[in-house]
Amino acid sequence: MLRFAAAAELLEADFWIQYNELAGIQDPEVPGGTGNPAYTDALNALDEDMNVYVHDNTDDEITHHTFLNAYLVSKGAAPANLDPFRTLMGSTATGVNPALIGRRLTNLTQLTIDNSWWTRYRDDSHNPDLDPNHVFPQVVPTLAVNQHTAIPRTDADTTDSNFLQAIANTAAFHFPTIEQGGNSLYPSMALRATSVEVLRILISIGPTETMHFQTWSDKAGNAPALTAVDPVTGVSVTFPDLSGGGKLFQNNLIMPEPCPFLNRNLPICSIIRPTQTQGVAMGVVNFLTSMGLFIGQSPAFFALLTQLAQAADRARREDDDD
Ligand SMILES: [Fe+2]
Ligand SMILES: [Fe+2]
């Protein structure tokens, strides 16, 4: 399980580093980029500290995979290593680390973002663990179809301020979409841990993903309402005004609404959801793949991720008989 977690954190760190090079605070703690002022300004339109949060989220992810791999090695186990797959192009816009052009693990330029977590956490009558067939509506439906870039691909993407804001808004919805995944992954894996030390690792890292998710879910609600068309692909995206959207959509309702938990005969409860453990690692791989995060990766990459996920999903708590 920890090797899969380390691989997931390597992937997280890879795309957060791309965001940080372009839109984070540039400092020696997370070195490499030089910043893209126009893209940074567009993201900071949502909150003046967006660049601070991007930097700190990136720093956190780097420490997550570094710690997990070091822990594995300290126990005589093999670390997760995705270095052979650092082959994707990434952005060539001003601000990126030139040494990493063509050496990315993840693709931020063709994303299809399932943003139904927005309503999943505002719905008091459905829990995906109890209602696996319930469809939670998307808050930005156009982001959940077609392919969108979350970073300027080239400097040409920064010339139209409306399209650049759409790119920044796309990133702002990608951040919580990713972090809510970690927010469910760690508790789901913790339910399978036998070693108290492994459990301690999972329940100590997991809530930091929740802190990321909570921050980003708040900021995404500040995305300026707009419609833009990608001049390269012709794809349109519309960010709605969410200020008067009612309980399921309103942008200041950022606390998790209580929902049914374990059994509908029990009172509703404010919780992380989903947390069912069945096939959770493979579920994460499928979620990230259908998001488009790995477009351009090789069959060997998918084979390795699948192998790591299946091994993680085979882990069972030793006294668990189901
Ligand atoms: Fe992480
Ligand atoms: Fe994270």
Does 321 fall in a domain?
no
Point out the ligand nearest to the CA of residue 7.
1
Does 184 fall in a domain?
yes
Average of per-residue pLDDT across 80-87 = 98
**Where does the pLDDT of residue 75 fall: very low under 50, low under 70, confident under 90, or very high at 90 and above?**
very high
Residue 33 Cα to chain centre, angstroms: 21
Cα angle, residue 111 at apex, residues 109 and 112 outer, rounded to 5°: 160
Give the CA dihedral 163, 165, 166, 167, nearest 10 degrees: 90
Point out the ligand nearest to the CA of residue 177.
2
* Closest to 257 in 3D by CA, of 265, 241, 246: 246
Percentage of residues in the chain with pLDDT exceeding 70?
99
Distance of CA 170 from the midpoint of ligand 1 (Å): 20
pLDDT of residue 160: 98
Distance of CA 205 from the midpoint of ligand 1 (Å): 7
pLDDT of residue 320: 64
Residues, CB within 5 angstroms of ligand 2 (ion)? 179, 182, 209, 212
Point out the ligand nearest to the CA of residue 57.
2
What is the domain extent for residue 269? 2-314
Does 123 fall in a domain?
yes
Residues, CB within 5 angstroms of ligand 1 (ion)? 9, 61, 64
Does 216 fall in a domain?
yes
pLDDT of residue 2: 97
pLDDT of residue 287: 97
Does 131 fall in a domain?
yes
Distance of CA 23 from the midpoint of ligand 2 (Å): 17
Percentage of residues in the chain with pLDDT exceeding 90?
96
Does 319 fall in a domain?
no
Does 320 fall in a domain?
no
Distance of CA 61 from the midpoint of ligand 2 (Å): 6
Distance of CA 10 from the midpoint of ligand 2 (Å): 10
Q: Copy the structure tokens of residue 179.
A: 């972090």
Distance of CA 264 from the midpoint of ligand 2 (Å): 31
Does 135 fall in a domain?
yes
Average of per-residue pLDDT across 18-45 = 97
Distance of CA 57 from the midpoint of ligand 2 (Å): 7
Phi, psi of 117, rounded to the nearest 5 degrees: -55, -30
Query: Is 44 in contact with 117 (CB distance < 8 Å)?
Result: no
Q: Domains in the chain: how many in total?
A: 1
The model's pLDDT over 147-204, given as tens digits with 9 standing for 90+, comes to 999 999 999 999 999 999 999 999 999 999 999 999 999 999 999 999 999 999 999 9
Mean pLDDT of the chain: 97
Query: Is 8 in contact with 185 (CB distance < 8 Å)?
Result: yes
